[in-house]
Amino acid sequence: MATLSFSSLKPNTLFSSFLFPSKNISSRPIIYTLPDRNTPPLTFSAAKRPPAASATNSSSSVTVETVSPENDDNSTVFVIRARNRTGLLQVITRVFNILGLSVEKATVDFEEDYFVMTFFVTDSRGNKIDDQKSLESINKALIDAIDGDDDAALSVAPSDRGVVVRKPRLDFGERKGQAERMLGLMDVFLKNDPISLQKDILHHVEYTVARSRFSFDDFEAYQALAHSVRDRLIERWHDTLIHFKKEDPKRVYFLSLEFLMGRSLSNIVINLGIRDQFADALSQLGFDFEVLAEQEGDACLGNGGLARLSACQMDSLATLDYPAVGYGLRYQYGLFRQVIVDGFQHEQPDYWLNFGNPWEIERIHITYPVKFYGTVTDEFLNGEKCKVWVPGEMVEAVAYDNPIPGYGTRNTINLRLWAAKPSDQHDMESFNTGDYVDAVVNRQRAESISSILYPDDRSYQVALQLNDTHPSLAIAEVMRVLLDEEHLSWHRAWDIICKIFSFTTHTVSPEGLEKIPVDLLGNLLPRHLQIIYDINFNFVEELKKMIGLDYDRLTRMSIVEEGAVKNIRMANLSVICSHTVNGVSRLHSELLRTKLFKDFYDLWPHKFQYKTNGVTQRRWIVVSNPSLCALISKWLGTEAWIRDIDLLIGLRDYATNAELHQEWKMVKKVNKIRLAEYIEAMSGLKVSLDAMFDVQTKRIHEYKRQLLNILGIIHRYDCIKNMDKNDRKKVVPRVCIIGGKAAPGYEIAKKVIKLCHAVAEKINNDNDIGDLLKLVFIPDYNVSVAEMVIPGADLSQHLSTAGHEASGTGSMKFLMNGCLLLATADGSTIEMVEEIGQDNVFLFGAKAHEVVALRKKGPTLKVPLQFSRVVRMIRDGHFGFEDYFKSLCDKIEGTSDYFLLGADFMSYLEAQAAADKAFVDEERWTKMSILSAAGSGRFSSDRTIQEYAENTWDIQPCRCPF
């Protein structure tokens, strides 16, 4: 008997072989030996087995027999005779899995186009199944499953749209021939040697991009490269999904309305471990990998930290082998493109899909109806009254799958994004009346709708994670499905809801909590509003039993907010219905317990946890800073830190090593050169590499206090202008870099951007200042720009008024890259100080517990003269536009200074002076930089996800075998 090793075969080859046997099957049986010891070998043999007691379905010629094995006393043998078809093996094995049975081995015989399949089966304890009643039940389940799926060749498109696709039936000889061809072409994984990669790239140039392989440009080369990478990504993705199906683990479904993925190419090839191979192959074709990677556009499907956090967590879920699926929305337009004209922000649409997205797979056959408007009626079902929602409008949600690979693992999980499309039925009605314009308008209207879709809710072995309150309508939707479609009792449905949902909030103030007007929700989703009212009624009634008639507290905790405008408090809904409520830093958790959700914490203290946010080192060191990545690996003697980032702490042993210092400074200089070249290309401004690159990049907001940074720059400029030449020689040169977008309707934030440009215009053109001070605003800041800015930064500013930043993941990215932090004691900064030591951070400003007292002082609060002077310079038109900036100055003087810029200004200047002093001491600065990177391991999203998996979701890794 010949044996074929399975080590070079794709796992799904087993299924292909079972369904399409080789023509040599009758003459020589083949055993496929799998490396996974839990998977039985499959033997093909022409030998026939004797008949035995059987169960038969007369309508389909399906028989199941139970026989006694000749040489095996530990298993029960099931012999199944059925017509072969695609998917038959999966149907049979699924039945055994559902019944908790294990298949030890299997053989297959054939009779014309019928297969006789023999399975050696044991129960969950590895014992033979002897009970006659159990055997009959198993036989019946097998027949029901096989016969019920017998028309697998007939496929009807989703939503009953009447499109029928029939797969051609091949005769047995044709199927065998087809199988041989398929196996010959697809029984091994795609190769990664230079010749194979070059062939694949050129193949995609000619057949995917439709260009001549003798004439194509960088963008076309990028497209071909991306599709070649995607081929290899999809192999792993399919294998992972098959493995998850086989193992059937509890899964987590991560719901977020924002995923800020950025570019994907570099991250994917690094996680797949084939970056160098592709770079070499491209080099031989005359292309540079880095140049082609720059051709990719950013997928900006989100705004700021929460969205980027979601992307980092998907990377960690894949890397740590957790069975997970991300769900979000496929926005046609990303976050707006920021264009600066004369220093003013202008918004333009981000047409990120104009040139296609090679990383997504459109699943036009996976659609779900999403219903809106309409009415709710009462109907009787089995003698019981039930609610029926009759929607007034419906759109189709179409799935787009985005494979997310893990690092150092075969696991590749799925991020499924949904796009809204018009219902075909609605369009046909419009066209039947000849109203073409109305059909177009309805299509545009449908495609503008954002909707939350949920995974299969019929399996209770799931965990649904709400990333902030944006997807919290999923609670009402799952409840609706369980009540109205599955017809569960309220008690049973509520019990399921409270077990599967967990909630992470990123909000720090009551004003930031999401609310939906009742009138809007009642009009748009009437049944969901009914369910929310019922949830609230039951909750309030139970609450009265616990706290009595404390109406103030009952009012605060109610999901429904009464008032001139009646609202649904989505945060209250999420807290009530989730088994766990997570903060995103220790300080944030304290704010949730003592302020934001104090009433709920007093009621359910066991619900409240915190898991400090993290970012992925794969993106923020390996991809964005390859020189530092190589240096770290060299000194640690391993690349294992890329998966186990706690190993970074080993850098502490070399923090004073002169050789490491020299190499560390060289890496920083290379990154500063790259950033300086970008600044010059973007703005025409040349900056000195000897200067401290001082960076603040984040969403423009009053609480993030970019204005404090600009006021400090004005003060520095004013001081330099008033120095004599000898004193100027002592000034530490600075390149101050600010970047970020202001929300389109946020006028104060837009004025901060204009002020930054006005100050830069003054400073950068002052010959007295020269290279001592430069100010640069980076427009349209996004993930790709961040990958260049962060490695090149010496100092990073995080200036939020204490108590206003939930976590602050931006500081973690800078920390990993050895950038020193100048920050308030806010968000996760407090925990960073614990990891790297207070001597390695420049802290300033009021603490969170001091902010309330400072605000109460109001007009009696004294501000330093330096602060008053720089504000006066702006008011007096020193930088022009005095009328335009008047309201900006009014916001930060007297009782209007809510975010305490004046109160913190002196402390801020002292921290800046401390940074100057440290920077001129190269040895001290480099040591601080090394210790910052060494202490950043705690702030990896790997750690965050592991804590969620163990403490919130209760899921286990499910590693796909290589």
The residue length of the chain stands at 962
Residue 142 CA to residue 64 CA, distance in Å, equals 8
Cα dist from 377 to 380, 386, 530, whole Å = 10, 8, 12
Whether 809 is a known active-site residue: answer: yes
In angstroms, the CA 792 to CA 739 distance is 14
Locate tokens 């309201």: which residue?
887
Tell whether the torsion through CA atoms of 89, 92, 97 and 103 is positive or negative.
negative
Tokens of residue 172, six digits: 């047995």
Note whether 723 and 840 are within 8 A (CB). Answer: no
Please confirm, yes or no, whether 140 is among the known catalytic residues: no
**Sign of the torsion angle spanned by Cα atoms 339, 341, 344, 346:** negative
Give the full edge-to-edge strand order of the sheet including 42-44.
2-5, 30-33, 42-44, 102-111, 114-122, 76-83, 62-67, 54-57
Distance CA(801)–CA(791), nearest Å, equals: 26
Q: Catalytic site residue 704?
A: yes
Burial grade of 106 (CB within 10 A; 0-12, 13-18, 19 or more): buried
User: Measured between alpha carbons, how far is 496 from 295 in angstroms, rounded to an integer?
Assistant: 47
Q: Note whether 903 and 854 are within 8 A (CB).
A: yes
Q: Hey, what are 330's tokens?
A: 């496929």
φ, ψ dihedrals at 166, nearest 5°: -105, 125
| List of residues 6+ apart from 292 with CB closer than 8 A | 218, 221, 222, 225, 265, 282
Mark whether 927 is an active-site residue.
no
**CA contacts within 13 A on the Cβ side of 548:** 1
E-strand stretches of 668-789: 692-697, 734-739, 773-778
Catalytic pick among 813, 891, 938, 943:
813
Q: What is the DSSP secondary structure assignment for residue 607, as one 8-state letter?
A: G
> Is 426 assigned a catalytic role?
no
- In the set 204, 506, 527, 938, the catalytic residue is 506
At 877 the three-state DSSP class reads coil
Write the burial class of residue 637 (CB in 10 Å: 0-12 exposed, 13-18 middle, 19+ buried): exposed
Contact 183, 13 (CB under 8 A): yes
The catalytic residue among 10, 528, 698, 927 is 698
Cβ(582)–Cβ(598) under 8 Å? no
3-state helix, strand, coil in the chain (%, to 5): 50, 20, 30
Pull the structure tokens for residue 527.
């049944």
Point out the catalytic residue in the list 107, 507, 809, 952.
809
Q: Which of 699, 855, 878, 924 is catalytic?
A: 699
Q: Taking the C-alpha atoms of 596, 602, 604 and 608 in order, what is their torsion angle to the nearest 10 degrees?
A: 40
From the list 220, 216, 300, the residue with the least C-alpha distance to 264 is: 300
Q: Is 798 a catalytic residue?
A: no
Indicate the residue type of 34. Answer: L
Q: What is the DSSP letter of 7?
A: T
Hey, which residues are catalytic here? 506, 698-699, 704, 809, 813
